[in-house]
Structure 1
C-alpha cells in the first residue's frame, strides 16, 4: 500500500512539475538575438554591464536594441542622441569599409537612418520601430571610396537636425 501511494505521489509530482514548466511563460535570455532589418543584435551582461554586438546580414542593416545604454559604441563623433563611426583601411582613409550610426531614444518610436556625403543622401536604411528606451543601430557595409575631402554625416528620422547630426571628415 505504501509503495503504491509513493508511486502515485511521484507520478502526480512529475505531472505537476511538467505542467508547471509548460505553463511558465517563455522568458528570453539575455543572449537571444534581436532581429532587425538586415541585421541582428546580441545583448550580453558582462561584469554587471550590459553590452551588445550587432551583425549585419545584408549590405545595410538596422536593428533596435531595447534597454538603457550610456554609450552605444566607441563612436568617433556624436551630436545629441546620434553617433557616427567610420571604419577605413590604414593608410587609405577615403576608403570606408563600414559606416555605423546609432540613435539613442528614451521612448517608443520608429526611425530610419540616412547616410550623407557633403549634405547629399547617398544611402538610407529601412524603418525600424522600438518600444520604450533603447538604441537604433545601423551598419552600412559601404566598401567604397569617397572623394577626398568629403563631409560624412548621419541623420535619423524623428531626431531633429542639426542637433542630432554628427559628421566626420573623410580625407586621405
Structure 2
C-alpha cells in the first residue's frame, strides 16, 4: 500500500507537459527508403538468394548455405499485402534487405476474405489461380530473391474449399 503514492508521484512527474510535447520532432522511417547508410545491412547477404547453394540442415540441426551457417531474420507478409505492382515490390524488397531481413513468409494469400486473393473464387471452385495475382506474387518473389531474401510460401492456410472441388454437398453446410 505504501508504494501507491510513490508510483503515482513518479507517474505524475514523468508525464510530459504540453510545451514539451510541442518541442518533439517527428521521427519517421520512410517505408521505401533503401538508401545506403551506415546502418544498412543490405550488403550482408549474398545476392541473389540461393547464389551460394541450397539451404540445408547440418547434423547438429543448424541451417547452412554453401557450407556456411545461416541465420534467418524473417517477417510475415500476408493477405492483400502480398500482391503489389512490380515497382512497389522492388521498393519493399530493398527496404527489407536494408533492415537485414533475409526471409519472408507469405501467409493467407488464398484467403477468401481479402479483396483479390491468389485463388479466383468467382469461378465457383478453389482450384483456379488468378493469373494477375500469380504474376504479382512471382514479381515480389523475384524482387526479394534479387536482394538476397528467401521466400517461405504457406499454402492451404485460409483456402475455402468448395463442393465444385469434388467435396460432398455437406461441405456447403459448414461455416
TM-score interval, normalised by the smaller of the two chains: under 0.3
| TM-score, normalised via structure 1 length | 0.23
| TM-score, normalised via structure 2 length | 0.23
Q: Which has the higher strand share?
A: 1
